Structure 1
Amino acid sequence: MTKQFRDFDKDSSDDSDSDDSMEEDVEQSESEDSSESDVDVDVGEEEAPNATGGDEANNDEEDDDVVKAIKAEKNKCRDHPPTIVSEDFIVDISFHPARNLIALANILGDVMLYEYGNEENKLVNTFELHLKPCRDVEFDTEGTTLYSTSKDKSIMASDVETGKLKRCFEDAHNEPVYCLKSLDNNKFVTGDDEGTVKLWDMRKPDPIFSLKIGEECISDMITNESQKYLVCAGGDGVLTSIDLKGSKIYTTSEDYDSELTCLGLFRSETKLLAGSSKGRLYLFNWKQFGLHSDEYVGQKHSISCMVPITENIVVTSGEDGLLRAAHMFPQRQLGVVGQHRLPVERLDISHDGQYIASCSHDNDVKFWNISYFEKIDTLVSEKQNKKRDMSNNLPSSNVRNASDFFSGLVE
């Protein structure tokens, strides 16, 4: 479950024990696999044709424009920033909304700010903010303020340019603050380990409102452009929406049999997608949060994070370390974008949509060039009557065998 990935230190007697455990996992993973993430590989292997229909199958493969697009992109030189390797466990990442900057929050309570580029990544600043592990890091909508939350129950607001602390909310919650979502230059919302959500204004010392919406952690929060409703995914398997204007609960969903871990918006913010700890994806119509309208099998393992790539395509990842791409309208698995040796904790997309970044339990942050998705999105939409799933790894992937992708799917 995502909760145990991101808060593995919660039940430990002290944070140092958690660090030692994580270092042992990393050392073990490095002994098992020493390959680099940037190794170029071939597109998925083709099966040998059978005696009766081999030629027909091959012709169909050659005629599939989507497969052609992927193969063409695969042959191009992929440009992306190098991997950022950290000495400490990276809890969360966040791209700047307008510049080539990415923030990394770690288990020591620090936030590192990097300027990324195709040739190199440069450490710009290190913010020593919290006494206990960070939980979340987010830029505000303009990119002038960097928010961070921690197990120490505090919320810090730092100036991106100067690195100076702009505001500190000590003991912001009674429980550790699990996630944060920026609404504008001054307002943001937070959710904690015990199901409490608070709305804050940087200009005021106390929250605008505080609502207890469940008993488990608030795994993720999302809103649309109008910001009338805030939707919260809960560790108790319930999707709760809050009327931000009325400062009250709008609706709660049925109880799902697993933790709801992550959220994403699609189709001009009319569709909401929720990932779960059992590898399933639930699709909701916006404002109809009581019951999902469709359900998809994502994978066998827990989905801990997702990032919308286009209006139709989502990339998800989690326990097995693979970044998988899927077209949702119509539903079709596209392939593997990339992979880590250990579980992936968080995903984010750059301001220009050219890269996604992922952080995992092996203490690294990898970048994946996903600019080719726009073309693939169009081609899939034009061929939505085709039922056959693709058996190709995407250009940014380092998975050597195409079957590795499908082995993680539920039959």
Structure 2
Amino acid sequence: MCKRTIGYFVDVNMYSGTSSSDSNVSDSDASVEELVGSHEESEILDDAVEDEDEVIKAIKKERDKKRDHPPVIHCEDFVMDFSFHPFENMLAVGSIVGDVILYKYSNEENSVLQTLELHTKACRDVEFSHDGKTLFSTSKDRSIMLTDVQTGGLIRFYDNSHEVALYCLRVVDENMFATGDDDGEVKIWDLRQKSDKPIFSTKKNEDYISDIVADAAHKFLLCSSGDGSLTTIDLENRKVHMLSEEYEEELTCLGLFRNGTKLLAGSSKGKLYLYNWNEFGLHSDAFPGPKHAINGLIPITENIVVTACEDGILRATHLFPHRHLGVVGQHDMSIENVDICNNGMFIASSSHDNDIKFWNIQYFEDFERVSHKHKKHETKQDLVKHLPSSKVKTADSFFNDLS
């Protein structure tokens, strides 16, 4: 019951609390003023009850609202990485103890399909093959494993694949994949080779390889590093194509936009660097952010990126023209990973609290046309504005149905 309703009941009881035995005036002798007062109190009470009913209706409507995304997955161990299956409603989660757990997800519930005990140390990266039949996983124990998704059986095993712990992996095509380690070395592997040796390796970076992406034509492999530089590898000729200038902050994650004609890099200082294709030596534009490290990013459309930040916030940014759109979702702790499902309906994010949360992002279809850049006085408002997927609800949004 709302405070205003409780107040009305108290006022009514205090006014009419005198018993008939203590009263010196009979009902028949009630004055006209008393009768009018009782009538007004009755109307106020009716209005209060009606207001209470509307509040209850609003609460019930919010509670009974049909779920438009899967519930939270609470993991027992720290989540190092996760990846959506390209066709099925399946999620692979790599844990700090070296296991990979396969989940089946739906809007109603999530369930564990199987647990794969693959690595002796933390499983740092998991990726599905493009056909979804094979699961690739890398580990701090320096091993690479290829697992049959349907049976859980081991397809191929690379032991001591790098001199130091692996950090990331990227499936390039049906035969080729690339890996990067903690010391900045990148290796390219071909599944058609019978030996367990890479077909190419290079070490142009002085710190860990944070992310790897490849274009659809498989011409270039782009590798970001903790030393603040971007290494481009020519896949056709198997040689280093270009090494960018070093930035003062770490380059932490990469994404391709505009049909692969633009490369976007996130940094440890919250900036987004945009590169023109085949001009990877220096960025063409830089977008300032909330000054929190960007740990991951995911392209949503050709114009929109969602960034996963150290402050526990998922933020959406429109790139062409540049404008912050608002908060997509939030965790209580730093967000480490973000990915988008096979049909693009929602994204998922994992945090230091071992939770994987899902966010419905269908509303971004209405954000494709942004006519102007945000003005300076609008920047702070856009950074904190909550989008429909955000779990933070304002009083205005909750009571919209009461007006």
Q: Normalization by structure 2: what TM-score?
A: 0.78
1:142 and 1:213 map into 2 onto residues whose CA distance is 32
1:373 and 1:287 map into 2 onto residues whose CA distance is 29
* One-letter amino acid of the structure 1 residue matched with residue 372 of structure 2: Q
Within the alignment, does 1:398 sit opposite 2:386 as a pair? no
% same residue: 57
1:385 and 1:240 map into 2 onto residues whose CA distance is 31
1:353 and 1:217 map into 2 onto residues whose CA distance is 30
2:142 and 2:112 map into 1 onto residues whose CA distance is 27
* One-letter amino acid of the structure 2 residue matched with residue 293 of structure 1: S
By how many angstroms is 1:308 displaced?
A: 0.6
The answer on whether the counterparts of 1:167 and 1:202 sit within 8 Å (CA) in structure 2 is no
Q: Could you report, residue by residue, the CA deviation over 1:70-124 in whole angstroms, capped at 9, with x for unpaired residues?
A: xxxxxx8550000000110000010011111110000000000011100011111
Within the alignment, does 1:119 sit opposite 2:119 as a pair? no
By how many angstroms is 1:158 displaced?
A: 0.2
Which of residues 367, 378, 384 in structure 1 aligns to 2:372? 384
Q: Match of 2:178?
A: 189
Where 2:362 maps in the other structure, the secondary structure is coil
Within the alignment, does 1:314 sit opposite 2:302 as a pair? no
Where 1:375 maps in the other structure, the secondary structure is helix
Q: Match of 1:165?
A: 154
Where 1:206 maps in the other structure, the secondary structure is coil
Q: Match of 1:242?
A: 233
Task: Rate the CA distance shift 1:369–1:202 in 2: closer, same or farther, 3 A.
Answer: same
List gaps (5 residues or longer) in structure 1: 1-75, 403-411
The answer on whether the counterparts of 1:263 and 1:274 sit within 8 Å (CA) in structure 2 is yes
2:309 and 2:121 map into 1 onto residues whose CA distance is 24
By how many angstroms is 1:386 displaced?
A: 6.2
Aligned pair count reads: 325
CA RMSD in angstroms comes to 1.6
Q: Match of 1:24?
A: none
* Structure 1 runs (4+) greater than 6 angstroms displaced: none
Query: How is 1:136-285 mapped onto 2 (pairs within 5 angstroms)?
Result: 136-204=125-193, 205-285=196-276
List gaps (5 residues or longer) in structure 2: 1-64, 396-403
Where 1:113 maps in the other structure, the secondary structure is strand
Which of residues 315, 326, 332 in structure 2 aligns to 1:324? 315
* One-letter amino acid of the structure 2 residue matched with residue 213 of structure 1: K
Which of residues 72, 87, 92 in structure 1 aligns to 2:81? 92
By how many angstroms is 1:213 displaced?
A: 1.7
Within the alignment, does 1:359 sit opposite 2:347 as a pair? no
Answer 1 or 2: higher relative contact order, Cα 8 Å, separation at least 6: 1
Q: Match of 1:339?
A: 330
Task: Rate the CA distance shift 1:395–1:81 in 2: closer, same or farther, 3 A.
Answer: same
Structure 1 or 2, whichever has the larger Rg, is 2
Q: Could you report, residue by residue, the CA deviation over 1:244-292 in whole angstroms, capped at 9, with x for unpaired residues?
A: 1111110111110010000011111111110000111100001100000
2:145 and 2:116 map into 1 onto residues whose CA distance is 10
* One-letter amino acid of the structure 1 residue matched with residue 360 of structure 2: N
2:162 and 2:373 map into 1 onto residues whose CA distance is 50
Q: Normalization by structure 1: what TM-score?
A: 0.77
1:181 and 1:385 map into 2 onto residues whose CA distance is 34
Where 2:240 maps in the other structure, the secondary structure is strand
